[in-house]
Structures are given as structure tokens and as C-alpha cells.
Structure 1
Amino acid sequence: MSEVIVHRNGGVVLLGGGAVCPADLTHALQLAPCLVAADGGGNKAIEYNYQPVAVIGDMDSLSSNARDQIPAERIHRVAEQDSTDFGKCLRFVHADFFLAIGFTGRRLDHTLATLSYLAQNQGVPILLIGEEDLIFRAPPRFSMALPVGTRLSLFPFGAVQGRSQGLRWPIDGIALAPNGRVGTSNEVSGPVVLDLDGPCLILLPKSCFDQALAVVRGA
């Protein structure tokens, strides 16, 4: 399979089978009213009374109940096991931006795989919505206006060098690495400007949704 399954001008909500806050899902769909489920995310869609435009994955988690309620032509089985269901969605769905929910919590290996995809996909506008956090891959340079004291964590997925303004603990001259020093639990002290060389994820509280989405979309 090589064709695009879903193409949208605007945003797409990717729904996984992990932890989902119904209010977060409702908010995401208000901004991006196209819902694509990743395999077991189809169960969540039916549970919360939403009908996905497509279900994509290896179909090892989609329940018989969900299959009965989702039109067969919307279920797209991708049998290969070289990528996760999240990765399959990113391959077969084209959109201006993605709001991904239900890809954290429950199995830690699934969460780690999702974060790895997030770190690898430079230039793909993805905002991951977790139980407590918003997560996105940092562009090489960006700025944000956040309340002083806001938690801002940096987690490198490779060797990262950077420069910062507006952080309580500046990162200038510090070599960050996943098996070395990381930048979690930093705090905002003023207008934030970050220059980062290397794959780095930014984690913010969910109260910073608008600011995070603006960075993801390059606004």
C-alpha cells in the first residue's frame, strides 16, 4: 500500500488506544474536525460516540464491536510490522497539522515509540496531547510568550546543543543527550527564545495549548 488514505487541508486528529481525556478529544476535534483512528483508537472513537473517517493499522487491537459500527471501507489494514500504528497513520494521512491523542499512558513501549516518531519527523507539524503534557519536536529556532513560572522541559533524542532566553536555567554551552544531561523541569522566567541544534522534544503543561500549537504550525 502506497496511496494516501486521507488528505485534508487543515488539521487531522489522530486517535490512539492509550489514555484519552474526553474533554481533550472534544477540544481537538473542534480545531481539527477530521478524526483518524490508529487501530485500537477505533475502539476509543466508538466509546466516545465519534465516527472516524479512517482506521489505519495492523488491526490487532480493533474490537469486533468497533468493526460492527465502523463501515468496512473505512478500515485500512496495513500488515507490515516495521512501523507502529502511529507511524502508519503519519505515512498514509496528509494534513497541514496533526493533533495526536491516545498515544501515551498504558504501555510504556508504545509511548516511547510515539516519542521516537515525534523526534524523527522534523518538519511534520504534530502536537501530542498527553495526560498532563503537550509534546512537540522543537523547530531549530522558535519563541513563545508563556507565564513566568511555567514548567518547560526539554528532552533530547540525540546530541543537542542550544541557546536560550527566558529560561530560569539557561542551556547555553550545555551538551544535552538522552544518555547524558537532559533539560527537564526548567521554568519560564521571561519571553522564551530557543535555538536548538539536534532532535529535541519540548514538554509543556496543557494550559499552554494555544502557544504550543502556534509553534507547531509555524504561526
Structure 2
Amino acid sequence: MIDAIVHSASPVLLVGGGELDKDALRAELSRFDKVVAADGGADAVLAAGGRPDALIGDLDSVSEAARAALPAEAVHEIAEQDSTDFDKCLRNIAAPLVVAMGFLGARVDHQLAAFTVLAQRAERPCLLIGAHDAVALCPPELKIGLPRDTRVSLWPLAEVTGRSDGLHWPIAGMRFAPHATIGTSNRAEGPIRLRMDAPGMLILLPARFAGALAQALMAAPRWGS
């Protein structure tokens, strides 16, 4: 069994303290059996009428009231400052998928840090959902049904190659890198299939396709499996 704080046989909702739509969060809370708060995300969960099963982080942002509202055994302080609260959470959740809200929007540096963690923890599938985009690290193979002309952006975090079916501009033969070739603003011709040679490519879709991307990630093989 993976060494972790939270274990779940079903997807877990992870809530951060960043930009959040309260109505969207409330809707997501009703869909998950387990909810984890990253530091100040506990305040957002409680304000939306939920209660996190675990609070994980360095706990420098959560309010005293939110911390006091949780049982002591649900609070997991990880004081080291060499990683973000998002990383502290993701590495301590063993689940088929982590759906994370409150990590996109507002501060660009926080978003970039979250993207880096997706690559560092490639073996732990995670979907970031924001107001406008749904973002995930591409698994070794990803199949997802999309309507024609859906925006599909690919953003490399390292040098990476791959192949595609169903994209308007195929990616076979291209060597991607953040300082060189990128793949933003491609579009689907219909259902797409991506195959990546290494864990270094983000896929970004319009937020309305977050559910479809979550299902595709659940069905996909994992890095390192």
C-alpha cells in the first residue's frame, strides 16, 4: 500500500485556498466521498457547507476557527518549507484520481508551482479545475471524446515527444520544450488520442470538459505502473 495520509478507492476532492467559485465548490463537494483541504482551503470548504476529512499543509494560512472546527486527528501539519501545500497534499493522497480546486487563477506563481508538482508527482493522477480551464499531466496514453473545434492546448514542462490522433495539427515528429516548441491553441477534430513518451506534457481544455477529462484520466494507464 502506498504510504499516505488519505487512502480512497474513489476520486478525492482537494481544495486549496486560491481563487474559488463558491457555487462550483458546493456542487463538487456533493459529488465526492472524501475531501481534503490544503491549508487555507479548509476555510473555503467550511464556508461552502462541507467539512474536510483531512487538513494537510504547513498550516500558515488556515484560520484558527477552521482548524478548531476539525477533530485533531484530521489535522496533519507538515512544517517543512521545501514544498508547496499542494505537493504536501498530493504526495499524501492515495486515490485513483485527485480533483483539485483553488489552485488556478489569481497568482501566476502559484499556478506555475502547481504545474511543476503535477510533473513531479506524475504517478498520482490529478486534475486541476479553474474558472476557465481544466489542466492535467498527460498520462502515457489518453483517450477523450471532444466536440469538433474544442480548444486543446498542450504545454510542455520538459523536453517531450508524442503522437496524436484527432488533433487538427498532429504532434508526431515534434520535439516540445518550454523554451522552444509549444502546443497551445490546437483543436480537436473529434475524439482525440494522445500518446506521450515521457511525463512532461500538460493538457489544457476548457473547464466545461473537466468531467470528460476526469473520466479519461481514470481510464488511462499511469506513469510508473
For 1:67 and 1:122, locate their aligned partners in 2 and report how far apart those are by CA, in whole Å.
30
- CA deviation map 1:108-164 (0-9, x unaligned): 222111111112222312111112111111112222221001000000111111222
| Structure 2 residue runs without a partner (length 5+) | 221-225
Is the Cα contact below 8 Å between 1:11 and 1:31 reproduced in 2? no
Q: What code does the residue aligned with 1:133 have?
A: D
1:46-57 map, 5 Å: 46-57=46-57
TM-score between both structures, scaled by the size of structure 2: 0.90
Amino acid paired to 1:55: L
2:39 maps to amino acid = D
Using the alignment, how far apart are the partners of 1:168 and 1:83 within structure 2?
Answer: 38
* Alignment-derived partner of residue 144 in structure 2: 144
Residue 3 of structure 1, CA deviation:
6.1
Task: Note the alpha carbon deviations across 1:48-83, whole angstroms, 9 max, x for none.
Answer: 121111111101101122123223332211111121
Q: Aligned pair 1:31/2:61, yes or no?
A: no
Paired residue type of 2:62: L
Report the TM-score, using the length of structure 1 for normalisation.
Answer: 0.92
- What's the secondary structure of 1:217's corresponding residue? helix
Match of 2:219 in 1: 218
Contact 2:29 2:50 in 1 (8 A): no
Aligned residue in 1 for 2:208: 207
| More displaced stretch, 146-155 vs 42-51 | 42-51
Residue 115 of structure 1 is matched in structure 2 by: 115
CA contact (8 A) 1:161 1:196 kept: yes
Letter in 2 for 1:151: R
Q: Which runs of 4+ in 1 moved over 3 A?
A: none
CA distance in 1: counterparts of 2:186 and 2:4, whole angstroms: 40
What amino acid maps onto 1:201 in structure 2?
A: L
- Asked whether the equivalents of residues 19 and 105 of structure 1 are also in contact (C-alpha less than 8 Å), the reply is yes
Percent identical pairs in the alignment equals 44
Structure 2 distance, partners of 1:87, 1:127, is 14
Alpha-carbon distance change, 216 to 24 in structure 1, aligned in 2, over 3 angstroms: farther
Question: Which position in structure 1 is the counterpart of 2:223?
Answer: none
Does structure 1 residue 173 correspond to structure 2 residue 173? yes
| Bigger Cα displacement from structure 2, 42-51 vs 178-187 | 42-51
Counterpart CA distance in 1 for 2:158 and 2:38 is 27
Q: Could you say if the C-alpha distance between residues 120 and 54 of structure 1 is closer, same or farther in structure 2, counting changes exceeding 3 Å?
A: same
Conserved? CA contact 2:163–2:196, under 8 Å: yes
Contact 1:133 1:203 in 2 (8 A): yes
Matched residue SS, 2:79: coil
- Measure the CA separation in 1 of the matches of 2:194 and 2:107: 32
Q: Alpha carbon RMSD of aligned pairs, Å?
A: 1.8
- In 2: Cα distance, 1:104 partner to 1:210 partner: 17
- In 2 relative to 1, CA 184–62 (structure 1 residues): closer, same or farther, beyond 3 Å? same
Matches within 5 A, 1:1-219: 4-198=4-198, 199-218=200-219
2:180 partner SS: coil
